[in-house]
Amino acid sequence: MALSAGLKLIQWARRPAVPSKDRKQVAQDRRDAQFRRLARDQWVTEQREREVARYLYHVRPMI
């Protein structure tokens, strides 16, 4: 048991280093995510306005 735990610990210590993202990349990723959110919100708003216009086009003659 202790031997296998020791071997696992050695394997973990020898694992390749994972490059961490630098601050600029993290900030860029955050900005990209924000732009995607804004674009999605704008698209949803446009679709909602389109649906309302379509609804009114069909309902108005009945009023």
34-61 tens-digit pLDDT: 999 999 999 999 999 999 999 999 888 8
Query: What is the C-alpha to C-alpha distance for residues 5 and 63, in angstroms, rounded to an integer?
Result: 77
Across 13-19, average pLDDT: 79
Rounded Cα gap, residues 54 and 6, in angstroms: 68
Asked whether the beta carbons of 21 and 29 are under 8 A apart, the reply is yes
Q: Helix, strand or coil for residue 17?
A: coil
> pLDDT band at 22, cuts 50/70/90?
confident
Place of tokens 């031997």: 3
pTM: 0.56
Whether the CB-CB separation of 45 and 53 falls below 8 Å is answered with: no
